[in-house]
Amino acid sequence: MSKMNSYRKPLIWVTSTIILIGIILSLSPFVLSLKPNPRSQQEILEIELSEVAEYEHKIFVMKPSKVSEIGTATHLYPGSGYLVIRGKSDKFFTYWLTTWKGNALLPESHWGQHGFSCNDFGPNLINGEISNESIISCNDIDVPPWGPIQWKWDMGGSNQSGQSPDLKRIKHKIVNRKLVLYAH
């Protein structure tokens, strides 16, 4: 019986070790899946901070608009870009936009149905600053009469009239004095 007890401790130790290794190996796929998907942080644009001054805004065109002639038909293809607004102390607001020749292409009822090409689309200044209370709108002088009512968004991207879709916010962060925009 004492010879059997002498084999029992190493056998328990080896069995416990094998079970522990099995548990760790079976849990590793679940633990590894908790890391963010690398595609979810795909960079879409990198901007030097100096390209947008404090309290200014700029549209960065990613896909230019184009006109295509097919036979007697003319097809207009809007582009896309990003509205970047810089507030105080490197506070940025970033949104996706449809564009036409570098201007914001504002919607009639959804982002695929375009109503107006706005040359000066951005926030109003409150006491000389861009703040969370600023309103994003078209500041052109030739805006249709219904435009100022329909095309107003808060800094969170929500349409204030309920007649146009919300702006699509784009995730971003500052890395090495660059503003980096992400796809998701």
Q: What is the pLDDT of residues 60-69, one digit of tens each?
A: 988 877 877 7
Please state the φ and ψ torsions of residue 15, each to the nearest 5 degrees.
-65, -45
**How much is the pLDDT for 86?**
93
Name the β-bridge partners of 99. Answer: 79, 104
Cα dihedral angle (83, 44, 40, 106), rounded to 10 degrees? 30
**How much is the pLDDT for 9?**
81
Distance (Å, whole) CA 161 – CA 65: 28
Please state the φ and ψ torsions of residue 97, each to the nearest 5 degrees.
-140, 155
pLDDT digits (tens, 9 = 90+) for 62-89: 887 787 777 777 777 778 889 999 988 8
Distance (Å, whole) CA 133 – CA 160: 12
**How much is the pLDDT for 41?**
60
pLDDT digits (tens, 9 = 90+) for 95-138: 998 888 889 988 876 666 677 889 999 999 888 888 888 999 99
Look-up of token digits 């936009």: 97
Residue 58: both structure tokens together: 């700029």
Answer yes or no: are the C-beta atoms of 104 and 121 closer than 8 Å.
yes
Helix, strand, or coil (residue 64): coil
Answer yes or no: are the C-beta atoms of 59 and 97 closer than 8 Å.
yes
The DSSP H or E segment spanning 85 is: strand 79-86
Answer yes or no: are the C-beta atoms of 135 and 152 closer than 8 Å.
yes
Angle at Cα 51 formed by Cα 48 and Cα 54, nearest 5°?
110
**Checking phi first, is residue 55 left (phi over 0); if not, alpha (psi -120 to 50) or beta?**
left
pTM strictly above 0.75: no
